[in-house]
A = this chain, B = another copy of it.
Amino acid sequence: MNFCSDNVAGMAPEILAALASANDGTASSYGADPYTARVEAKLSEIFERRVLAFPVVTGTAANALALSVMAPPYGAIYCHPEAHIMVDECGAPEFYAGGAKLVPIAGAHGKLAADDVAAVLANGRAGDVHHVQPAAISLTQATECGTAYRADEVAAIAEVAKRHQVKLHMDGARFANALRHMNASPADITWKAGVDVLSFGATKNGAMAAEAVIFFDEALAESFAFRRKRAGHLISKMRFVSAQLDAYLEGDLWLRLAAHANDQAAALVAGLKAIPGVELLHPVEANEIFIRLPLNVVAGLRAAGFDFYDWPGAAPGTIRLVTSFATRAEDVAKFVATAKALAA
């Protein structure tokens, strides 16, 4: 029973079926196939406007490629100090953007606050050749703390971005989870709020290896196809990446998968909060829980066969639990019951 990450799960059955179905016959390579076209059309419908969408196979590639067209090599990209692009991509954004600099802006619960961004950009030294130049802001939706940006929060940051002529990127590795939590529309929390480019994640939410870089600012996409190719991220048999996304978007599968993961997280946290002395580090607004449990409970859960990570940099007993589309309700119930028994 593995709560380490949503990427320990496999594929949703519908997505596996889509791979099998897409395997019929020949198809033009490198994206000139009907699946890829259909994905762009579906995303345009879902986002209520024409978008340009480029499938890739990892979130790191999606983020790094997206940022490489949003910031010049001498640019500054502002993000939360715990952002995936800052901490967990081994410098991919710097590599792809030719040495651009990621500048951290602290904020509670993994989120940037518009006022803090405004304060930093007010000292951004635009035009000063000695200093990297303000270029882009990157938000994570849901954040690394499992929280979600509301549309008005995104819009407030976007307003700062526009004022300083910097672009706004959203790392949506867990976009579906955040969206489902808020019952918002995809358009409302992205381009209508001022997002220029979205890394639209599917892998963590039931795909095998599929993400889409979605451009709301089409001018930014001009060089993207070249950059994707020379990064080795133009998959030759692209139909199999697009077929995943096609199935993912069909009939709201993506939202149902996210709803399931979120529901399991909600059930987990509801159960665990009843244990005396537990401390929830962040509101649970997606499918991640950061919680401090008594040490004997943590040890006992592991002994009982549950896998999860201790959270670095936090008090002893602090763990992260991640649910997914594949998390079973009975495992959640068992986790809670085991924890309660250990705490008793």
- Is the CB–CB distance between A237 and B7 below 8 Å? yes
- Is the CB–CB distance between A227 and B29 below 8 Å? no
Q: What's the nearest-Cβ distance from chain B to residue A57, in Å?
A: 6
- Is the CB–CB distance between B89 and A95 below 8 Å? no
Decide yes or no whether A183 CB sits under 8 A from chain B: no
- Is the CB–CB distance between A58 and B19 below 8 Å? no
User: In the complex, what residues of B have CB within 8 A of residue A313's CB?
Assistant: 123
In the complex, A64→B129 CA distance in Å? 16
Decide yes or no whether A163 CB sits under 8 A from chain B: no
In the complex, A324→B7 CA distance in Å? 33
In the complex, A2→B32 CA distance in Å? 14
With beta carbons under 8 angstroms apart, the residue of B97, B203, B233 that contacts A58 is: B233
Q: Decide if the interface of chain A is mainly helix, strand, loop or mixed.
A: loop
- Is the CB–CB distance between A234 and B58 below 8 Å? yes
- Is the CB–CB distance between B102 and A101 below 8 Å? yes
- Is the CB–CB distance between B230 and A231 below 8 Å? no
Decide yes or no whether A87 CB sits under 8 A from chain B: yes
> Which of A9-17, A39-47, A138-146, A246-254 lies at the binding interface?
A9-17
- Is the CB–CB distance between B10 and A87 below 8 Å? no
Decide yes or no whether A148 CB sits under 8 A from chain B: no
Decide yes or no whether A49 CB sits under 8 A from chain B: no
**Contact (A101, B92) CB under 8 Å given A7-B237, A229-B60, A230-B74:** no
> Which of A20-28, A151-159, A267-275 lies at the binding interface?
A20-28
Interface 1/0 per residue, A86-118 and B, CB below 8 Å: 011111101111111110000000000000000
Q: What's the nearest-Cβ distance from chain B to residue A53, in Å?
A: 16
Q: What's the nearest-Cβ distance from chain B to residue A220, in Å?
A: 14
- Is the CB–CB distance between A65 and B16 below 8 Å? no
Decide yes or no whether A277 CB sits under 8 A from chain B: no
Decide yes or no whether A73 CB sits under 8 A from chain B: yes
**Contact (A57, B100) CB under 8 Å given A73-B91, A123-B313, A130-B90:** no
Interface 1/0 per residue, A49-60 and B, CB below 8 Å: 000000011111
Q: What's the nearest-Cβ distance from chain B to residue A320, in Å?
A: 14
In the complex, A13→B139 CA distance in Å? 41
Decide yes or no whether A165 CB sits under 8 A from chain B: no
Which has the most chain B C-beta neighbours within 10 Å: A30, A101, A130, A227?
Answer: A130
In the complex, A27→B24 CA distance in Å? 28
In the complex, A23→B227 CA distance in Å? 32
- Is the CB–CB distance between B203 and A236 below 8 Å? yes
User: In the complex, what residues of B have CB within 8 A of residue A223's CB?
Assistant: 72, 74
Which residue on chain B has the smallest CB distance to residue A326?
B26
Decide yes or no whether A131 CB sits under 8 A from chain B: yes
- Is the CB–CB distance between B16 and A20 below 8 Å? yes
- Is the CB–CB distance between A234 and B10 below 8 Å? no
With beta carbons under 8 angstroms apart, the residue of B16, B89, B102 that contacts A130 is: B89
Decide yes or no whether A305 CB sits under 8 A from chain B: no
User: In the complex, what residues of B have CB within 8 A of residue A133's CB?
Assistant: 90, 226
Q: What's the nearest-Cβ distance from chain B to residue A276, in Å?
A: 31
Q: 9 A-B residue contacts at CB 8 Å? A: A10-B26, A10-B237, A10-B239, A65-B232, A73-B91, A90-B230, A92-B229, A99-B230, A231-B231
